[in-house]
Structure 1
Amino acid sequence: MSGQEFKRALGYANAAFDLLKRSGIPPYPQFYELLYTYATGVNPSLNSRINAIFREGHAPSADLAEALYNEFLKSDVNDRITDVSERMHARIEAVHDAIDTAMTTASAYSGSLQSASGDLEQDISTEALQSLANRLLLETRVMQDTNRALEQKLEASRDDIAALQRDLDDVRRESRLDPLTKIANRKSFDEGLEAAVAEAQSGHQPLCLLIADIDHFKTFNDTYGHQTGDQVLRLVAMTIKSNIKGKDLAARYGGEEFVAILPSTDLEGAVIVAENVRRAIQAKELLKRSTNEKLGRITASFGVAAFRPSDTPSSLLERADRCLYAAKHAGRNKVVSENDLAEQHGPKDGVSAA
């Protein structure tokens, strides 16, 4: 974890504890998670609900916090996976029952055939032979009916299991997306960055990481409201996504921060991508949908870092974060790469900057 990321997470934690203390809500893990999530702003539906509660002056309580936690954070994805799993289990049990029935019928049929074989080895009357033939014909029809029922159940189960698999794939896909912006979420980014670093280490391919932060977003959000703020977040997310390609991955990192993993891209190319995104964001004039009021333009600051052979995901992210921090301090609406930082600070102790 980079120094800036640590400060950011600590700020969210302090805000969550402050809300717990001021509201008189017990600091149980689920309530801390609820208010920590509220502090980060990554769940817009949750924030809208809590803000409405604050505006209406409702007294906070453990029961209210429990209800909000169950509604927004008790994992809907896990519930859906459980539902799919239970349906899959029920279908498999039905198939097993059908197979057991077929095996029992087949075993009985096999016993009847063996018995008939023994009878045929002896001298039997025409009437007895006719009776044996009728019995075998009847049992053969029962066996056919059982097999037909098994085939039907297997066919239905195949279709059901295919549908369940599609449901499961949808749930998994949704679990990797940010619900507001519909680009990759933090979990998906963490996994993607780890895989990209491992691939860059093994294949000696370039890799860059871009991190972006919307300038003055909190002020904009407070001035025009959360719905307009959500519109801005979606706009920035789609702008980043439309300017990357191939195996690149755009993700919402948290709050108003976004990241993009750029495999097979050197630092110069990554800076070009960042500049394209920066200009595209700045070029868009915002309108308030409800009133068509012009809200002006937004800007974003960018930090770009390139993979080094000794890098871990954390060290690469930390360098990109330092570049973002420098872009903010240089006046915002800028792209700063680690080469820019090296030029600003110059070589130290006789060692040239890489």
Structure 2
Amino acid sequence: MVVLPEFDLERVSSIADQAVRQIQALEVPFDPQMFELWFTYYSGRNQKLNIAVNAILAEQRPPSYRVLRDVYDAIVSPARLTELVHGIGEQLQQQTNGALGTITMATGASNAFLKELAQADQVIISADSQGGLRSAAAALLKSTAVALRTNQALQSRLAESAEQIRVLQNRLDLVQRETLSDPLTGVANRRMFDASIGRLIEQADQHDSPLSLVLIDIDNFKHFNDKFGHLVGDGILRLVATEITQSCRANDVICRNGGDEFAVILPETPIEGALAVAEAIRERVMKRQLLRRSTKEPMGRITTSIGVAQHQKGNSPEALVARADKWLYSAKTLGRNRVSAETSELGEMDSSDVDRSEPGLHWSRAYESGDALIDSQHRELFVLANALFDPSLKPEAAPRELTLALDRLLSHVAKHFADEEAELSARHFRGLSGHQAAHATLLRDADDLKNEVRSGLRTLGDLREFIVNEVVAQHMLTADLEFFPLFRPTPAGPGAGQAEQCQPEQC
């Protein structure tokens, strides 16, 4: 909001005209936010805004609505909200002072009435005739009537002050919520993320409880935004925010950190649970079909790349964000539409024990069920799956080596599933039939995918994604947790935060 020292109609009109012409020249939507941004810019009252806008205008390409809206949200909107908070605070102070003054008046009136009662008491005691008593009673009734009227007036003033304070407090709460929320998607904003992550990490360290961070980036968002326009881009951001929210718990902190990146802070959640949440988000978003609302024109599907890391006790919030961001980058470089996670045994294994320099699956002792056979086969699954990350292993360059690697991996998976089912049957696992059905589906899909990779219809990256996401993240790290209590007293951790799939709907 621009505050001018005095109203100058000619100057204000000139600034408004410049703002309108700039909006028209850029061919961006004319809305209150754009007008406020350019009006503030041409008024020269916000140096930070002018520096940011000048840097954008210096680029060769005209700025998009999304770029300008991000500047508005980051610079103009907080300044306006600060002014609102300050104004409401002053009004609250005035109402509070008024209420205190009313209370002081009520105290004075009460003391005066008590004094008059004491005087009436002395008169009654000293009265020697009926006339004297009547006179004292009349004076007492008069004082009582005055006190009642005064009390009613003071009560009315207090009630009015209380109502004004309640209204102002509600306005202040609303402004504070706006300050900490993203106006486009309705989730929390970067300011809320920065305020929350340090506090939640401190709580996690105090109570020795796990905490994980999930960073989510929309794949090829700029392509959708440029091809279909900012309104579709805004719809995609709202859709992804909705799917994230429906995949998380009430106490998880969901934030839009800016642009097309979201973050989810998961208190009391180890890496296993965070992986399940991340995979649920990825699947929910991927299954949404985008349609143009006006023409029903299909616009394809959107996918996400997700990085996950667990807080290491004693480390800073910046360290956690950096590690999650590293795995987000890994997910994008591996082909997007995937979850990439840090899976070392946090707190028990030194970081030097795990090679994180190369992408792939990293074994964690937290994945151990307590059954020696199942755990050894799970470890072997990681080893065989990681062989597929060898850059020299390509169908055109090494077809025989690729075939052998695929056969070894899938033969191991089939044998492991059979051995696991036998172990669970011996333990009378109640969910055995569902587990067997899941195994059969995974084996069938894996065999089909293997043949398609050999024939060149699918890529090795598709197979890696299937092994990492379907076999490991969704099955081994989620479904298998159900039988862990059979082999050890306490399960590795809850696969919290999963949500039911929803039907595709229009963007």
The answer to whether the superposition gives a TM-score over 0.5 is yes
Question: What is the 5 A alignment of 1:1-80?
Answer: 28-32=47-51, 47=68, 72-73=76-77, 75-80=79-84
d(CA) in 2 for partners of 1:308 and 1:49?
A: 32
Deviation at 1:105, TM superposition (A): 3.1
Q: What RMSD in Å do the two structures reach over aligned CA positions?
A: 3.7
Residues 129 and 46 (structure 1 numbering): CA distance in 2 closer, same or farther, change over 3 Å?
farther
CA distance in 1, matches of 2:290, 2:89: 44
Corresponding residue for residue 248 of structure 2? 244
- Amino acid across the alignment from 1:345: S
Corresponding residue of 2:210: 206
1:287 alignment counterpart = 291
1:109–1:34 Cα change, 3 Å? farther
| 1:164 matched residue in structure 2 | 168
Q: Does 1:345 align with 2:345?
A: no
SS in 1 for 2:213: strand
Q: Please give the secondary structure, in 1, of the residue aligned with 2:343.
A: helix
Whether contact under 8 Å (1:282, 1:297) holds in the other structure is yes
Deviation digits for residues 265-308 of structure 1 (CA, Å, limit 9, x no counterpart): 22122122212211221111112223322211111111111111
> Deviation per CA, 1:74-99, whole angstroms, max 9, x where unpaired?
53433443343344334334433433
Structure 2 contact 212–308 (Cα < 8 Å) conserved: yes
C-alpha distance in 2 between matches for 1:35 and 1:282: 38
- Specify whether residues 160 and 247 from structure 1 end up closer, same or farther in structure 2 by C-alpha distance, changes over 3 A only: same
Q: Which runs of 5+ in 1 are unaligned?
A: 1-22, 51-67, 347-351
CA distance in 1, matches of 2:43, 2:153: 58
Q: Which has the larger radius of gyration?
A: 2
1:1-354 alignment, distance < 5 Å: 28-32=47-51, 47=68, 72-73=76-77, 75-120=79-124, 122=126, 127=131, 129-339=133-343, 345=357
Secondary structure of the structure 2 residue equivalent to 1:289? coil
Q: State the number of aligned residues.
A: 307
Match of residue 17 from structure 1: none
- C-alpha offsets along residues 141-162 of structure 1, whole Å, 9 cap, x if unaligned? 1011111222333334444433
Shift of 1:125: 6.2
- SS state of the match for residue 303, structure 1? strand
Q: TM-score, normalised by structure 1?
A: 0.74
> Cα offset for 1:194?
1.0
Deviation of residue 200 (structure 1)?
Answer: 1.9
- Residues 279 and 313 from structure 1, CA distance in 2 versus in 1: closer, same or farther, beyond 3 angstroms? same
Label 1:251 to 1:44 Cα distance change in 2 as closer, same or farther (>3 A). Answer: farther
8 Å contact kept, 1:46–1:72: no
Partner letter of residue 243 of structure 1? S
The separation in 1 between residues aligned to 2:78 and 2:195, in whole angstroms, is 22
Structure 2 residue ranges without an equivalent (≥5): 1-40, 345-350, 366-507
Closer, same or farther in 2 for the Cα pair 1:198/1:104, shift >3 Å?
closer
Distance of 1:129 and 1:24 partners within structure 2: 81
Aligned match of 2:13: none
Alpha-carbon offset, residue 178 of structure 1: 0.7
Per-residue deviation, 1:24: 11
Contact 1:304 1:320 in 2 (8 A): yes
User: Alignment identity in percent?
Assistant: 34
Q: Is the 8 A contact 2:214 2:309 kept in 1?
A: yes
Which amino acid is 1:47 matched to?
Answer: L
